[in-house]
Amino acid sequence: MKAVYAGSFDPITLGHVSVIERAFNLFDEVHIIIANNRAKSHYFTLQQRTELVRLSIPAEYNMRSHIVPFEGIVANYINEHKIDVVIRGIRNATDLDYELQLEQFVRNSTEADTIYLSPYTPYMQTSSSLVRMFFQSNKYTLALNYMTPDAYDQAICYMQETNQPPFK
């Protein structure tokens, strides 16, 4: 069975990674879609976010993963690749309410079912917004608690290259 887990991953966190690991325990193949939402102002570029995801996925899953930078409607990708299941991560009731709205679109646009996975307990309060806040407030070493070491190191390099906080 094939599953898709889509998000902006700006940046990918240990919460995302735990949902991905759980997905690999359930499905033969997992497509991780790094979406580029033009309505959002992303902290990292699509290419940078894709590389951060690559660095965060445990090597044992490489043969079963497809990491795809994507611009467009994810439902089109789901249909084109005959994906069976859409994975959505939820941390709390607010996430669930939003995700249920998205599920209606998926249900009306694809043949895929949606399942909800929560991150492992230590990462229930982890969010990309929190990590970006650490970076923007010069508390960037705190972000290491919420990212894989390789992704964290690369994120720091990207911020240095682009002169983003805390390197301005």
Is 72 annotated as belonging to a binding site?
no
User: 5 among the known binding-site residues?
Assistant: no
Q: Which of 31, 49, 128, 132 is catalytic?
A: 128
Cα of 78 vs its chain's centroid, Å: 16
Q: Any binding-site annotation on 8?
A: yes
Is 89 annotated as contributing to ligand binding?
Answer: yes
Q: Is 56 annotated as a binding residue?
A: no
Q: Is 38 a catalytic residue?
A: no
Instruction: Find the catalytic residue in 40, 66, 82, 139.
Output: 40
Is 31 labelled as part of a ligand binding site? no
Residue 16 among known ligand-binding residues: yes
118 is in an annotated binding site: no
Q: CA 163, 166, 168: angle at the middle one, nearest 5?
A: 40
Per the annotation, does 99 bind a ligand?
Answer: yes
Give catalytic status of residue 40 as yes or no: yes
**Contact predicate 20/13, CB 8 Å:** no
128 counts as catalytic: yes
Distance CA(44)–CA(33), nearest Å, equals 15
Catalytic residue from among 16, 22, 49, 132: 16
39 backbone dihedrals φ, ψ, rounded to 5°: -80, -15
Residues 98, 118: Cα–Cα separation, whole Å:
14
Query: Which residue of the set 54, 91, 109, 118 is catalytic?
Result: 91
Do residues 17 and 54 lie in contact, with contact meaning Cβ atoms separated by under 8 Å?
Answer: no
Residue type, 60: E
Q: Using CB atoms within 10 Å of the CB of residue 129, give its burial: 0 to 12 exposed, 13 to 18 middle, 19+ buried.
A: exposed
Q: Is 127 marked within a binding site?
A: yes
Q: Which residue has the tokens 């102002």?
A: 41
Known binding residues for substrate: 8, 40, 74, 88
Known binding residues for ATP: 8-9, 16, 89-91, 99, 123-129
Known binding residues: 8-9, 16, 40, 74, 88-91, 99, 123-129
Residues annotated as part of the active site: 16, 40, 91, 128
